[in-house]
Structure 1
Amino acid sequence: MKQPMVAATRYIKSYAIDRCTFQGGARIGRVSLLQNSNTFQNLQRTSRHILSSSFTRASAEPLSESFSDFTSPIEEDNCSSDCAGKCEQPQKRHLEQFSYVHGFGDSVRRDVDDGAPFLEDSRLSGFANEASMEIQHNRELSTANNEKIVSAGIDMCEQLFIRITSSRKFCNSKSYIADPEASKARLHLSLCSRFAHFHGALKVFDQVKERQVKLNVHDYNILLYLCSGVASGNILKDSWKSKKKPNKTLDDPLQDNSNASENSEKIEHNISSNDISQYSPEDVKLAIERAADILEHMLENGVNLNESTYTSIIRLAVANDDGDLAFKTIKLMESSGISPKLRSYGPVVHLFCQRKEDDKAYEVDDHMLSLQIQPDESILDSLLKVSIHAGHDDKVYTYLHRLRKSLRVLLPATVKTIENWFTCKASVFAGKANWENLPSDEECELAIADSGGGHHGLGWLGMGPWQVRRTHIHSNGTCMSCGEKLCVVDLNMEDTDVFAESVARLACQRMKLNTFHIFQDWLGEHGPFDAVVDGANVGLYNPKVYNGFSLRLLDAVVRRAESRFCTEKLPLVLLHGRHKSEIMKSQAGVSFISRFMKNNALYFTPSGADDDWFWLYAAVKCRSVLVTNDNMRDHIFALLGNNFFPKWKERHQVRFSITHKSVDIHLPPPYSTILQESQRGSWHIPQAACDDSEVVKEWLCVTRPRDMAFSQET
């Protein structure tokens, strides 16, 4: 009943958007794009009636938000002449409104259609028809003015260029004083990239050639980036609109990603269609042709190619449907001493998989693994699909385990691919070569123990067709479909050592002098510990209630962890050095520090160092539990990747809660949320709640008989 209300409110809010303009590098102005819009008023009236009906039928609480808050003007542009709304700026705003109104109208119509009971009301039926008429009207206007809208975006790019280059700050910059023409060209190219202004960038390049302006590799990469994006059919605008989630953006040549993790190179799946510029076949052909000119000019001027340059060439080859050339470019890139990245391989693998060339896709995958580059979920999904199409059950088995090793939960699209495999005819005969010599229960049990739990790796078990069900897992770890109990999966000794070394290496790279090496030596001398406590996270549990850092809370949690986990030593407490003076102000603080320092169970991290590295390394190295409520989603944890960190975190993080009566410790769940292969050959696959969530929505339970009479006719 509440769906139309929620959708209408969401879209009404989205209307009053801010558009930033620049003058001399400073932000000015906020403009409401839909102010004084008849279309907006009609759709607002439709939404009000939908909201009113939803409120009446669902007996919901009165709305706390007023539509006037959303529709009131933020800041109005004053026009010096009596233009009656016909001047250039209102026209531009009127043109830009159509994509937003179009999306809102479709949503209103869709919500009304989904809620069939609402249409019993004749008033709502009339307003639904009114909304439908508005949608059709907006579509006609949008089609007629599409070229004008694109032109408005291009004009914004050019106007911004003029304003910045005429500012005093730009003219006094060192780069402008050193080489005015090159400085302007670089700025213009950057703006063209921001606004996906492909033709404008080509125009700048032609001017550069004519005036013999010297560009660097970064400038050429911008041009090749735009060409490769246009050649693929669309390109993301790197404007303020597309920076809603800065940690998940497309590869941008304006940023140096040389030290970024592979996670930052994954394509964001939630990009709005308004942020993507689409191009005609003529533009695609032009992009491929001009890219060759740009590359030739780059080589003639003696500019060395880097990883971004090669990646753009690879994308151009893929856009030209030449996967062989793209793969040769990767090999040339490696032979030139430049290490390929995941983004270099992704387009090639996807192309071969789309063309059902499984052997070539496997070859690229093997080359990627030889350089210790792990594919992301989208690549593994494509490899799964091409293996299913080719009927290679051994490859499907391999890729399932690679998904298990690299990810905790899978996206709905990947789970659907796996479901398609287990329901296809080829899966019925999976593992047929071993049907006469299946491993015993004892062999499977031993293999699972050796692997650390969750899989045996002995190949397909069972015979005949699979039974596939969507289900949930009980809090005790039992599957509510087949009744099997899921395992606890932890890192084995070898993986734990590798993970600890990677944490130490990253920490040393980001700290001054040898501060982390000193901590490593200290931990090696006084460790290991059964529990590690993130002192700052505990002491600042609720700073508003407890008036800043609370030693009383820290002491209570430490004593609770000591009684629960520790046998001989006290828990290791890690605190930032700035908290020491605050703790020492009280007699209780002096006693606390004295007790833990005497037992070598307290370590103050030095100034300027992030204490996250210290408690994470200590917990991993000591193979102990980590007491903290930190969600560990900061950038430093993103650097750790998905191979070990998510699995380790799930099994070793212990959360706590504090009430006025007690301190409670919350242990990890009795099973691991990860793709699991059981001793009987069953599979349990966790599916994420959405495309950007670690929350599990449901599980895929896949089973088949371990032993059965399977005739040739069957």
Structure 2
Amino acid sequence: YMHAGVQCYSTPLDISHRAWSPLSSLARCCMQFVNALSRAHRQRMLACVSNLHGSIQFRCTGARPQGLVGGHPGRSRREIPQHFAWRATLPPLNAQHIMQTVDSASSGGRRKKQRIETPLTLMRQALVQATRQNSWADAWQAYQSAKKQDIKLTADVYNSLLFMCAGGEEWEALCARGQEAGETGPHNGDGVPSCETRLEVGQSLFSEMEALFGTPSEMCFTALARLAAMAGDGKRALALGEELVSQGVPPKLRNFTPALHAFAAHRQASEALGLFTRLQALSLSLTEDDYRLIIRAACGSPLWASMQDVFLAMGEELTVLQPGTLEVVEAYFEALSSQAEGPGPFTLSRQTVRADGQDDSGGEPIQAVKLSSAERDTFIKGIANLARRSQREPNKFEQFDAWLEERGSPEIIIDAANVGFYGQNAGAGMFCFPQMKTMVEHLGTVFPGKKPLVVLSAGRAQRIQKLDPALRTFFAKLEEQGSFFVTPFGSNDDWYWMYAAVRAGEVGVLVSNDEMRDHTFQLLAPRYFEKWKQRHQVRYQIYNTLVTLQLPAPYTACIQHLPDGAWVFPLSVTRWLRAQPACVGPPTGTLPPGQAEFGADPALQPQL
């Protein structure tokens, strides 16, 4: 309440008028005053107050306070003097009592209930602190102390103990290193027990929890699987994941990831590939890290046919690969080439791919991968479901679908908001309607005969009536041709132009510079979205009336098995790893669904 710069002296105490309030109690005003002071000033004041046995004098300086003069409200403003003093007589005060009263006043006038710290709460606090420091030694010490005091632990405490015993957030690093007994911990310098010891302790905690609370939670099974993987027992880790499935728990990838880590660490190729098949049967989508573990496990094994299925699955799930994944792939092909029994040696080279999909290797060009009909249907349904959920009135999106069906699917969909704001000031820029007209006219020359569709939100479409006659005529003509759609109020226009573009099929083109990162994570099938975007998004630049289009590449950035038997792995859109077999022939595996026979769709590559 008081000004931060108030100075405090023994007599008098000067306070700013802005902090003064007509309180009914002088003691309340004192509490607010003391609470607002800095710690040093507060100590000085309390030293003075504790010795007072008479009166405290406040002198208010500055502009006149309204309605209060010397503690007497009600006097007119003209009668209020510029400076005044108020002297009040108080009984002897105790500094400690004032501090307690101030703390009570600072909490809204109510005294805080003192928290009663039970042995269980102290145990929880110690466990939380150990988790923050990632110290299993501290967590175990707190547990043993609680057992000695015969404290009844709750299920959440056991969950936290198992989590810490399994390595916490660093369990993958512990699993990879396979730490031995006595090795120094990564953060706290405590002696870290061996992985076998951790597994014994974790199993003991798991059994104790099972006896007290019944079947442990899914996270407890996962923690025990991690402990088994750290000890090198991948089969035990896999059995724990399967036990959850047998109990009717919906399978999660994290239940089986520990087994993959153990198989990779011990080069157990057949077990890792068997788990890959099992995860596919459970309809679980693997991450790039999981695929990297499978390749590492299979490095040096003769199971080439099974590994081709893994590479094809990676081509369907992933696009550009991480550098670490590419290094593991290179190591795999180098080991494969050195085997006496196998597909023969492979020549590995990192190539720069040109705009036509060719590189300097002299092999087949990289191909365009199309979505199959089933994949496109799944993709369209995912967009439609998300669009309906985002609508205030779900039937509005159904009307848009019927509108497209009535007028025929357009082939060039324009994100009008993205085009209209291109090159404008992000904060205060105006929506540029002439840029939309320029874009539509340019697309008509680049894609002759293809029907456009301009999608614009209702809020911005209202401004069309205020445009000059030429622009009003232009948009009226688009509307007559069925090439202009205004999304209803409260709708996200992004879902409309995206749905229309995917619905157009293989010939559909989306004109937008939007990276659509937010849509990627919302869609039910992100792998379809990434490949579709590579094939169908047209980016652009506009300068006055000059439009430059960046058409999609004639190939798709994903793992591919080419007709000459080569395998190609993208590090970026233009930088690839090519594994070329010595014996050139047809692919030994099958092409992924939708992979084109050769090259790109000429409809998407007009001559500019």
Q: Normalised by the shorter chain, which TM-score bucket?
A: 0.5 to 0.7
Say whether residues 1:579 and 2:460 are aligned partners.
Answer: yes
Aligned to 1:534: 415
Deviates more, 1:182-191 or 1:543-552: 182-191
- Give ranges in structure 2 of 5+ residues lacking alignment: 1-37, 41-105, 175-184, 586-608
SS in 1 for 2:425: helix
Say whether residues 1:227 and 2:165 are aligned partners.
Answer: yes
Q: Which amino acid aligns with 1:226?
A: M
**Equivalent residue in structure 1 for 2:239, among 323, 328, 346:** 328
Distance verdict in 2 for CA 1:660–1:587, change over 3 Å: closer
Say whether residues 1:416 and 2:327 are aligned partners.
Answer: yes
What's the offset of the Cα at 1:513? 5.6
Aligned to 1:651: 535
Aligned to 1:376: 287
**Equivalent residue in structure 2 for 1:348, among 256, 259, 267:** 259
Check the 8 A contact 2:302/2:336 in 1, yes or no: no
Distance verdict in 2 for CA 1:207–1:321, change over 3 Å: same
What's the offset of the Cα at 1:686? 2.0
Check the 8 A contact 1:230/1:287 in 2, yes or no: no
Check the 8 A contact 1:531/1:566 in 2, yes or no: no
Q: Which amino acid aligns with 2:553?
A: P
**Equivalent residue in structure 1 for 2:500, among 618, 635, 639:** 618
Q: Which amino acid aligns with 1:553?
A: Q
**Equivalent residue in structure 1 for 2:357, among 468, 473, 477:** 477
Distance verdict in 2 for CA 1:538–1:648, change over 3 Å: same
**Equivalent residue in structure 1 for 2:384, among 477, 499, 504:** 504
Aligned to 1:699: 577
Cα-to-partner distance string for 1:646-688 (whole Å, 9 max, x where unaligned): 2111110000101124112221123332333222223332224
Distance verdict in 2 for CA 1:414–1:364, change over 3 Å: same
What's the offset of the Cα at 1:591? 4.4
**Equivalent residue in structure 2 for 1:317, among 228, 238, 251:** 228
Cα-to-partner distance string for 1:594-648 (whole Å, 9 max, x where unaligned): 4444444334445554433332222112221111101222364465555322211
SS in 1 for 2:166: helix
Check the 8 A contact 1:605/1:614 in 2, yes or no: yes
Check the 8 A contact 1:231/1:316 in 2, yes or no: no
SS in 2 for 1:543: coil
Return the alpha-carbon distance in structure 2 between the equivalents of residues 206 and 522 of structure 1: 70
Return the alpha-carbon distance in structure 2 between the equivalents of residues 407 and 540 of structure 1: 32
Return the alpha-carbon distance in structure 1 between the equivalents of residues 520 and 392 of structure 2: 16
- Give ranges in structure 1 of 5+ residues lacking alignment: 1-77, 81-166, 237-273, 433-463, 689-694, 708-714
TM-score normalised by length of structure 1: 0.56
Aligned to 2:348: 468
Q: Which amino acid aligns with 1:488?
A: A
Check the 8 A contact 1:421/1:427 in 2, yes or no: no
Aligned to 2:443: 561
Check the 8 A contact 1:233/1:278 in 2, yes or no: no
Task: Provide the alpha-carbon RMSD of the alignment.
Answer: 4.2
Say whether residues 1:362 and 2:273 are aligned partners.
Answer: yes
Aligned to 1:668: 552
SS in 1 for 2:531: helix
Return the alpha-carbon distance in structure 2 between the equivalents of residues 408 and 516 of structure 1: 31
Distance verdict in 2 for CA 1:574–1:296, change over 3 Å: farther
Return the alpha-carbon distance in structure 1 between the equivalents of residues 463 and 329 of structure 2: 55
Distance verdict in 2 for CA 1:584–1:223, change over 3 Å: farther
Check the 8 A contact 2:225/2:241 in 1, yes or no: yes
Cα-to-partner distance string for 1:252-285 (whole Å, 9 max, x where unaligned): xxxxxxxxxxxxxxxxxxxxxx997786332856
Check the 8 A contact 1:583/1:590 in 2, yes or no: yes
Distance verdict in 2 for CA 1:233–1:477, change over 3 Å: closer
Distance verdict in 2 for CA 1:657–1:330, change over 3 Å: same
Cα-to-partner distance string for 1:20-40 (whole Å, 9 max, x where unaligned): xxxxxxxxxxxxxxxxxxxxx
Check the 8 A contact 1:428/1:466 in 2, yes or no: no
Deviates more, 1:360-369 or 1:191-200: 191-200
Return the alpha-carbon distance in structure 2 between the equivalents of residues 605 and 282 of structure 1: 62
TM-score normalised by length of structure 2: 0.65
Return the alpha-carbon distance in structure 2 between the equivalents of residues 198 and 610 of structure 1: 49
SS in 1 for 2:535: helix
Write 1 or 2 for the structure with the bigger share of helix.
1
Percent same amino acid among aligned pairs?
27
What's the offset of the Cα at 1:562? 3.9
Structure with max Cα Rg: 2
SS in 2 for 1:544: coil
Deviates more, 1:697-706 or 1:496-505: 697-706
Cα-to-partner distance string for 1:91-129 (whole Å, 9 max, x where unaligned): xxxxxxxxxxxxxxxxxxxxxxxxxxxxxxxxxxxxxxx
Say whether residues 1:405 and 2:289 are aligned partners.
Answer: no
Distance verdict in 2 for CA 1:428–1:523, change over 3 Å: farther
Check the 8 A contact 2:416/2:436 in 1, yes or no: yes
Distance verdict in 2 for CA 1:178–1:374, change over 3 Å: farther
**Equivalent residue in structure 2 for 1:339, among 209, 231, 250:** 250
Check the 8 A contact 1:407/1:642 in 2, yes or no: no
What's the offset of the Cα at 1:220? 5.0
Q: Which amino acid aligns with 1:359?
A: S
Aligned to 1:264: none
Aligned to 2:71: none
Q: Which amino acid aligns with 2:307?
A: V
Return the alpha-carbon distance in structure 1 between the equivalents of residues 111 and 382 of structure 2: 45
**Equivalent residue in structure 2 for 1:487, among 355, 360, 367:** 367
What's the offset of the Cα at 1:355? 1.9
Return the alpha-carbon distance in structure 2 between the equivalents of residues 187 and 411 of structure 1: 40
Q: Which amino acid aligns with 2:577?
A: W
Distance verdict in 2 for CA 1:476–1:366, change over 3 Å: closer
SS in 1 for 2:355: coil
Distance verdict in 2 for CA 1:357–1:431, change over 3 Å: closer
Aligned residue pairs: how many? 466
Cα-to-partner distance string for 1:411-454 (whole Å, 9 max, x where unaligned): 3333333333444465777776xxxxxxxxxxxxxxxxxxxxxx
Counterpart mapping for 1:190-205 below 5 A:
192-199=130-137, 201-202=139-140
Return the alpha-carbon distance in structure 1 between the equivalents of residues 521 and 240 of structure 2: 32
Check the 8 A contact 1:535/1:575 in 2, yes or no: yes
Counterpart mapping for 1:44-123 below 5 A:
none
Counterpart mapping for 1:118-129 below 5 A:
none
Return the alpha-carbon distance in structure 2 between the equivalents of residues 587 and 424 of structure 1: 70
Check the 8 A contact 2:418/2:514 in 1, yes or no: yes
Distance verdict in 2 for CA 1:611–1:661, change over 3 Å: closer
Check the 8 A contact 1:185/1:208 in 2, yes or no: yes
Distance verdict in 2 for CA 1:675–1:230, change over 3 Å: closer
SS in 1 for 2:251: coil
Say whether residues 1:387 and 2:298 are aligned partners.
Answer: yes
Deviates more, 1:322-331 or 1:597-606: 597-606
Check the 8 A contact 1:654/1:667 in 2, yes or no: yes
Distance verdict in 2 for CA 1:276–1:683, change over 3 Å: farther
Check the 8 A contact 2:351/2:578 in 1, yes or no: yes
Distance verdict in 2 for CA 1:400–1:332, change over 3 Å: same
Check the 8 A contact 1:192/1:200 in 2, yes or no: yes
